[in-house]
């Protein structure tokens, strides 16, 4: 009997799940606690797997366990198998009730509060039983979550032209950056403003390690100007807008943030040229995963919401 035939008859999904948990936990004891079972039961499952396949899957060490080369190979394909099985169950649930399901979306705080919110509002009106699980963070962090199969898709800004072998990028629209102020700020009444006029104004900016902060730095350096000093530093775009509203501060935002409801009549875009290229916004998906029907519905609505933005130049 060939190895593949023997494995097909003797391999258990439960044993694979236990092996994955052991490797994630780093020890049999910790895995047993996570699985709410005994350590001998965990050891037995791993031993059964090793006997079925005929190779050692774990290196047992005094400080814990680590997967062998064989173990890593099995874990890689096991994750894909569990993912496909999970998507199959989701598809069955969706076919049984196409108005229900869950989609896990990753994005930045800016895009989540604007474009993603608009897509969620549009889709949830037609399918009110869909659950939208939205996670925000940096592009790098969200990419790791997507590759780690914790998210179904990303709505992200693409910086540069670096090719990613693990993911695919579908263009939705180009986004620019704008400098904004409160409607009561005297600058909001001017028809033309030079960037140099804004260097000594009080600014509220995101932290220096963020993408928008790096754009703000680039804007002034490209023009040969000093980067303005931030009087206040805040990550959340909503907080920065609240600080702008009384009329004292200036800040920089992706223009898409101000194009979606809820509209902010107390915030005005200043008539100043921002010398940085427009950045493409799009849908990022994993190349080796089959999207669930609910995720595909979300993508279809994202394309529709993006159409007016794609037409604007």
In this predicted model, what pLDDT tens digit does every residue of 228-248 receive, in sequence order? Answer: 888 998 878 888 889 998 999
- Take residue 242 and report the two structure tokens written for it: 């609240």
Position 234 scores a pLDDT of 85
For domain 3-83, give the CATH number: 1.10.10.10
Only one residue has tokens 């896990």, namely: 104
- The verdict on whether omega for the bond into residue 262 sits within 30 degrees of 0, i.e. cis, is yes
Output phi, psi for 40, to 5 deg. Answer: -60, -35
CATH topology of domain 97-173+280-311: D-Maltodextrin-Binding Protein; domain 2 (3.40.190)
Average pLDDT over residues 22-30: 88
**Closest-CA residue to 302 (of 188, 155, 95, 127):** 155
Only one residue has tokens 């590759």, namely: 147
Q: In the chain, what's the furthest Cα-to-Cα distance?
A: 83
pLDDT band at 200 (very low <50, low <70, confident <90, very high): very high
First to last CA, the chain: 65
CA angle, residues 75, 81, 87, in degrees to nearest 5: 135
Position 98 scores a pLDDT of 60
Q: Which of 33-42, 95-104, 113-122, 269-278 has the highest mean pLDDT?
A: 113-122
CATH assignment of 177-269, among 3.40.190.290, 1.10.10.10, 3.40.50.970, 3.30.200.20: 3.40.190.290
16-42 burial, b at 16+ Cβ within 10 Å, e below that, comes to bebbbbbbebebbbbbbeebeeeeeeb
Position 77 scores a pLDDT of 79
- pLDDT for residue 10 is more than 70: no
Position 164 scores a pLDDT of 73
Same fold, 97-173+280-311 and 177-269: yes
The domains of the chain are located at 3-83, 97-173+280-311, 177-269
Q: What's the pLDDT tens digit per position in 161-198?
A: 445 788 999 999 998 889 999 999 999 999 999 999 99
Position 153 scores a pLDDT of 96
């Amino acid at each position: 009997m060939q190895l593949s035939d023997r494995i097909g008859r003797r391999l258990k999904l439960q044993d694979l799940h236990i092996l994955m948990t052991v490797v994630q936990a780093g020890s049999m004891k910790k895995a047993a606690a996570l699985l709410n079972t005994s350590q001998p039961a965990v050891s037995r499952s791993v031993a059964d797997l090793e006997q079925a396949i005929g190779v050692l899957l774990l290196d047992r060490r005094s400080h814990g366990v680590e997967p062998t080369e064989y173990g890593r190979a099995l874990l890689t394909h096991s994750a894909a198998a569990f993912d496909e099985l999970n998507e199959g169950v989701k598809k069955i649930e969706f076919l049984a009730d196409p108005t229900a399901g869950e989609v896990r979306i990753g994005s930045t705080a800016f895009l989540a509060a604007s474009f993603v919110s608009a897509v969620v509002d549009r889709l949830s009106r037609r399918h009110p039983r869909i659950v939208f699980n939205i996670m925000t963070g940096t592009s790098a962090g969200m990419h790791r979550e997507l590759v780690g199969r914790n998210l179904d898709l990303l709505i992200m800004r693409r910086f540069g032209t670096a090719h990613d072998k693990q993911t695919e990028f579908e263009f939705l629209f180009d986004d620019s950056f704008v400098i904004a102020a409160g409607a009561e700020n005297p600058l909001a009444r001017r028809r033309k403003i030079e960037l140099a006029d804004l260097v000594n104004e009080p600014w509220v900016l995101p932290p220096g390690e963020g993408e928008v902060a790096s754009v703000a730095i680039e804007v002034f350096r490209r023009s040969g100007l000093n980067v303005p000093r931030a009087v206040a530093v805040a990550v959340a775009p909503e907080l920065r807008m609240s600080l702008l509203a009384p009329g004292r501060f200036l800040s920089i935002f992706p223009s898409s943030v101000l194009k979606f409801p809820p509209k902010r009549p107390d915030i005005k875009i200043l008539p100043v040229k921002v010398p940085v290229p427009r950045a493409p916004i799009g849908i990022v998906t994993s190349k080796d995963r089959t999207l669930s029907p609910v995720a595909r519905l979300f993508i279809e609505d994202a394309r529709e919401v993006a159409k007016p933005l794609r037409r604007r130049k």
